[in-house]
Structure 1
């Protein structure tokens, strides 16, 4: 069996079982094997599964657990989706997604970081300005998180804005 065919079977099996984490494990192989169109389909499937899991989580009135592999992978997929909107200049959509995500996890650091993302998008701070003036990408890289988790002093202004709007961070 060819490597591509074997990879596609693994992906199909992970999709059928709703295993987002397994799909992320296969991500590097997908990048090496697939053309751009197939790769877009791969990510669309991850997003579809994450949105299903989001709906299920909201219906169950529970928080996602960062220590649970599927919840972690779901939060990552939804975060990447929100960042995609933000980087495309869709600040309203991004802000709405960040707001939902900030309340979705039991991880306080993640929730607080997403509140900063949310208020930045809400305040119409461009994604590039967010990266340049608010986020601390080097510290985030050292922290090893999948999301922007470390921030510069400029973030304090956003926190003050949040407090003025009655948002608890």
Structure 2
């Protein structure tokens, strides 16, 4: 069995087990091994599993536990999906995903961060403007989170403005 076939077998096993976390563990090898079409399929499978888990979670009226590896991987996949929408200019779709994600976990830091994402999209800020004017990328990198978790003073101004408009 060659390298590609071996990796495909590992990916298939993870998919059949609904194991998003294992798929993320295989991600670097997938980047090094797969062609673009296969890699796109790899990410599509992660997203399909994450959307299934989202549906199951919502139907069960539960919150995801960021300390549970599958929930964590699911949230990561859904966040990346929302950012893809945001990046592609599908601001309304990104906004809806950010809103759902902000209430989906037991992690207050994640929920708070996603509220800034959601407000930025509701204000129709582009992703570039969000990254340049609201997010603090250096602090986020230092924090080591998979999501944008640190924000500058403009973020608080945006939050205050939104709260004033809604009252």
TM-score higher than 0.5: yes
Partner residue, 1:63: 63
Deviations 1:77-131 (A, max 9, x none): 0000000000111111100000000000100000000000001011100100000
Partner residue, 1:9: 9
Q: Aligned equivalents of 1:50 and 1:155: distance in 2?
A: 29
Partner residue, 1:42: 42
Equivalent pairs counted in the alignment come to 167
**TM-score when scaled to structure 1?**
0.96
Structure 1 segments of 4+ aligned residues over 3 angstroms from their partners: none
Deviations 1:104-159 (A, max 9, x none): 01000000000000010111001000000000000000000000000011001121
For structure 1, which runs of at least 5 residues remain unmatched after alignment?
none
RMSD: 1.1
Q: Aligned equivalents of 2:54 and 2:85: distance in 1?
A: 17
Partner residue, 1:28: 28
Partner residue, 1:137: 137
Q: CA deviation at 1:48?
A: 0.1
1:73-88 map, 5 Å:
73-88=73-88
